Amino acid sequence: MKALITGASSGIGRDIARALVCRGWDVILVARRAERLMELKEELGKHAQCVRCDVSHTDECMKLHEVLKDQDIEMLVNCAGFGICGFFTETSLDKEMEMIETNIRAVHILTKLFLQDFMLKNKGYILNVASIAGFFSGPLMATYYATKNYVVSLTGAIYEELKRRGSNVKISAFCPGPVDTEFNKVASVKFSSAPIDSKTAAAAALDGVMQGKLYIIPTVKMKTLKFVKRLMPDKAITHFCYTFQKKKR
């Protein structure tokens, strides 16, 4: 069994790679920082290979699939992603375009290409790392939340299509709240509520995708938040999100 993991050089992706190897999988580690990938490859030994790839470039995503499509990959983990914080009129347009390329476009391309392969074999797993943010509008992190809404929505639609076609292929959206990784450093934010560690997050994500869950939400607090959203008007929820996000700055 072999899995391809984007965003494997750090945080959740790195711990998903470690957990998969513990569960008997071989892993293909993908990210931009080659030295980080090499360190992890050394740790994981013969079970790992690494491919340096900037998934924000469409041609690099296409090449990644082209080079690896004959390797009998059974799991795709779309984990590469990042966020930025600030009023929408003040955040960098260039950085937001890069975020949309990474958090949306790369997920879209890789999901389609590998899903087509998995459908032919009628087996495989796709784990799209979204966020609890994927169920909300997020003032002060507007673009990041919007990218995760895309991932949740796309995954939900594909899940239903697979079910209707009687496919054995599984697809899940992993939707955690705060996880202790390098995410905050990259986004220049701090936690406004206690994070879980990325090892716990990784284990929950893998258990969930193997069980065929659509949404994998690893804590009771975040499950409650999603439930409460159903009971409150959208504007009130977004008002609450602003207060929550403001504490992160």
| Other beta carbons within 10 Å of 92 | 11
What is the C-alpha separation between 135 and 223, in angstroms, rounded? 11
Does 31 bind ligand NAP (CB under 6 A)? Our answer is: yes
What is the C-alpha separation between 221 and 224, in angstroms, rounded? 5
What is the C-alpha separation between 18 and 45, in angstroms, rounded? 11
Min. distance of Cβ 216 from ligand NAP in angstroms?
11
What is the C-alpha separation between 220 and 234, in angstroms, rounded? 21
Does 82 bind ligand NAP (CB under 6 A)? Our answer is: yes
Select from 43, 182, 197, 234 the one that contacts ligand NAP (CB under 6 A): 182
- Applying the rule CB under 6 A, the residues between 209 and 228 that interact with ligand NAP are none
- Cα dihedral 60/114/109/52 (nearest 10): -20
Min. distance of Cβ 45 from ligand NAP in angstroms?
20
Does 129 bind ligand NAP (CB under 6 A)? Our answer is: yes
Does 138 bind ligand NAP (CB under 6 A)? Our answer is: no
Pick between residue 119 and residue 199 the one whose CB is nearest to ligand NAP.
Answer: 199
Does 190 bind ligand NAP (CB under 6 A)? Our answer is: no
Active-site residue identified among 144, 150, 159, 215? 144
Residue 227 CB-density burial (10 A; 0-12 exposed, 13-18 middle, 19+ buried)? exposed
What is the C-alpha separation between 205 and 219, in angstroms, rounded? 11
Does 234 bind ligand NAP (CB under 6 A)? Our answer is: no
Select from 124, 178, 208, 218 the one that contacts ligand NAP (CB under 6 A): 178
Number of residues that bind ligand NAP (CB under 6 A): 29
Q: Measuring CA to CA, how many Å separate 68 from each of 21, 48, 49, 52, 84?
A: 19, 14, 11, 13, 31
Closest by CA position to 50, among listed 103, 14, 101, 11: 14
Min. distance of Cβ 98 from ligand NAP in angstroms?
7
- Applying the rule CB under 6 A, the residues between 51 and 80 that interact with ligand NAP are 54-56, 79-80
Q: Measuring CA to CA, how many Å separate 149 from each of 73, 78, 144, 173?
A: 27, 15, 9, 11
Active site residue 144: yes
Pick between residue 12 and residue 169 the one whose CB is nearest to ligand NAP.
Answer: 12
Does 36 bind ligand NAP (CB under 6 A)? Our answer is: yes
Does 186 bind ligand NAP (CB under 6 A)? Our answer is: yes
Give the range of 9-17, 87-95, 117-125, 223-231 binding ligand NAP by CB under 6 A. 9-17
Which amino acid is present at 16?
I
Residues near ligand NAP (CB under 6 A) are 6-13, 31-33, 36, 54-56, 79-82, 102, 129, 131, 176, 178-179, 181-183, 186
Residues serving a catalytic function are 144
